[in-house]
Chains A and B, each alone.
Chain A
């Protein structure tokens, strides 16, 4: 334990603690205070009111029900995809692996736009092909479909990490001892992956109940907390009620987060240091293999169909009525969207490097340094992952609308929100990557005369560069595709592309919404490509460290 010796570390810890306190914890406390002090004195009247009125009470149970259904369906889809792509030798594996990750880098409600184009009142499939007009996609079923497609990659990513690390040797050993292939799955592979299943389920659950944009557009009469909190807060100016609904959203998300972080992840059988290994031999029968291939092909077909629909939607004059080709959506989008595009790129580009650096610095402190309150720092840094965007948005409005922290209407409030909301991405990547680096490499540097700051810059940072850049990429994507928190923070001067797309979708200008979505994806992909270049150059480096 180092005591009073490393002043750079001490100052950094103090600064980061203050920042986290101000931009993560303080807004949260503001929301809580607002919800329990509606008239300036303590009262639980708002919560009472919400539970007395059936239509408000329902929003809570609707959110939970939605979360449970989507978490379950996404985990199942994610598991099958992960198992097929990491434990079975399927043709076209690398192609499938890229396709299933696609929804992660899209604006959150792009699939909703597609689904309206395909299955809505004027939908291509419903009206044009099948001639149905009485069917409505709006409601729980549409929402479940869209959220599952959006969120199964989250489960997929968690589960590939787990499945790929289950050593084929264990499965081979079971086969060698006389087990059948299906019994190997039931007795070895699946039991070992259960903690991963639980993690995946909880992560999707949190994401689903926190989702704002999809329910906003497609939930119909199925009211959920995130939307209702927004409507109460900004539509009705009922700030205490909006806050109380936000807190009701926060509680289940927070519980799920804590259970995942501090209980499930400890149950894991698989060590994080284990190297991912591919399938050495198929653990399924040829029939099952064909079924899995069929499943993946259908999944891929649906994902691609949804993307192609958005592309098509950009060029057809009036979807469902007039299928003639036109560029007028592009012109219109350019007119209404140019400033938003500019703003969005500016805001995301400014926030991203800070987000990445902050994540890496905290990761370094947490993994390598001993200081008082280390666990609190790690917990509160990851906290913003668990806090639904709606809660953050309301918190920022409440916290930063008066002196000394008057920030409403500025670019700063949006940038700060991005930084502290997205920093956990880089933080987690940084922690994982730092744990792989032998501490004696850094000790050698200190031993030879370098101080902590120099060691961090010249030794640590270059070694965790791949994690740093992937943290950067994802921070950028999240900044580009954020809606739920940002919608509270945009202003006439600083708008965000996603809120513009949402507005266009709501007024059913789906052509423009499609174009703007495509532009957003194009920007994200371009940045991914650039970051990939950076990481790619250092492949030998990252290989050397593992």
Chain B
């Protein structure tokens, strides 16, 4: 189970600009191993190279340099139709002139299978994705969610070595997106099928992935489990991209064993457990999530601040505060029903558990 299904080594992709001689580096020095049965997500803003990477695995783009291994075999020079991959497209790419049955069994035309086996296989897969009875419909007659299922079934039926997802849920409405997301994950786990998933939606990435690759400007920022990415971002970019975050900048003022103090300028935080190698006087950024912060009446907490905005969001109150150094931070007060409310313009005090802080060294 723990063998490498997909390996990308030192992948670089350079596009030539159509108008000038400029070159655009879409993907740079990309390295990734996907274990068999694992679902790995490429996450990043648009233009970060995630889709290009996916398309290189599928064979729609050829890397400018580097190798792609599927089950240990270098497939970089193999055309897309000879690669054992199957993709679920953003716009589904269903064949509008074919029935659902023909769509789903299309990939089986290129395998040595008799009609009976094809039928049986299609029946099985349609039951799996909940499309039984739709064999003779046309794609145009199905809802968005159903079309999505057809796209999924069509990719699953060929039993690819790796299943590729290119922002498959972006055309669905919010509710449907959530349920399809869970369904895809359930199926993927049940069939234990190796998957590479591209999205720009961090919630989607967190909820569906075994591991997430955060990309920015063609390069990998961080690879890790959803929890690692969320709580222990390697860079400010990762911290900022995944959920709401507060940055406090400061300087290491004291170092004792693996405990450090950080001077914020207007106050000092003591006894932070050191997680990375830091020197005295080094500039650092403290990363703290809004839900980690605790509000109290002015003077009863650690840092004083002024409320400049508050927003009620149902399950929590979001306060925007101005710190003494004019820095703006966000605090989420979860389940606010019986908690004290603070008014705009008023003073509050902010505290946080020291072990929920994450430190990033400034370059």
The residues of A with any CB-CB pair to B shorter than 8 Å are 1-3, 5-6, 438, 440-451, 459, 462-463, 540-541, 544-545
Contacts and interface: CB of A to CB of B under 8 A. Distances in A.
B319 interface: no
Given A445-B106, A450-B110, A541-B96, A440 B90 contact: yes
Contacts of A459: 95
Interface string B254-279: 00000000000000000000000000
Interface string B77-114: 11111100111011111111100000000110111000
Interface string B48-88: 00000000001111100000000000000111111001110
B113 to A, nearest CB: 12
Given A443-B80, A444-B87, 16 more contacts: A1-B61, A5-B77, A5-B78, A5-B79, A443-B87, A444-B106, A444-B154, A445-B106, A446-B80, A447-B80, A447-B81, A447-B86, A448-B154, A448-B155, A540-B140, A541-B96
Nearest to A444: B93
B110 A443 contact: no
9 contacts: A1-B62, A5-B62, A440-B93, A443-B87, A446-B60, A447-B85, A448-B154, A449-B107, A450-B81
Nearest to B90: A440
B158 interface: yes
A438 B93 contact: yes
A440 B89 CA distance: 7
Nearest to B96: A544
Contacts of A446: 59-60, 79-81
Interface of B: 58-62, 77-82, 85-87, 89-97, 106-107, 109-111, 138, 140, 151, 154-155, 158
Main secondary structure of the interface of A (DSSP, over half): helix
A364 to B, nearest CB: 16
Contacts of A6: 79
A448 B62 contact: no
Nearest to A440: B93
B91 A440 contact: yes
A435 to B, nearest CB: 15
B79 A448 contact: no
Nearest to B139: A544
Nearest to A4: B77
A378 to B, nearest CB: 14
B107 A448 contact: yes
Contacts of B138: 544
Nearest to A452: B81
B62 A449 contact: no
B62 A443 contact: no
B97 A462 contact: yes
B99 to A, nearest CB: 13
Counting chain B CB atoms within 10 Å of each CB, the highest count among A2, A446, A450, A544 belongs to A446
A102 to B, nearest CB: 33
A5 B158 CA distance: 23
Contacts of A440: 89-93
Counting chain B CB atoms within 10 Å of each CB, the highest count among A446, A448, A462, A544 belongs to A448
Contacts of B59: 446-447
Contacts of A451: 79, 81
Contacts of B97: 462-463, 541
A56 to B, nearest CB: 45
B147 to A, nearest CB: 12
B158 A449 contact: yes
A443 B60 contact: yes
A441 B90 CA distance: 11
B196 to A, nearest CB: 13
Contacts of A540: 140
B24 to A, nearest CB: 13
Contacts of B91: 438, 440
A91 to B, nearest CB: 34
Contact of A441 (B79, B81, B96): B96
B95 A441 contact: yes
A448 B60 contact: no
Nearest to B106: A448
Counting chain A CB atoms within 10 Å of each CB, the highest count among B61, B80, B87, B91 belongs to B80
B38 to A, nearest CB: 21
Contacts of B89: 440, 443-444
Contacts of B60: 443, 446-447
Nearest to B82: A449
B199 to A, nearest CB: 16
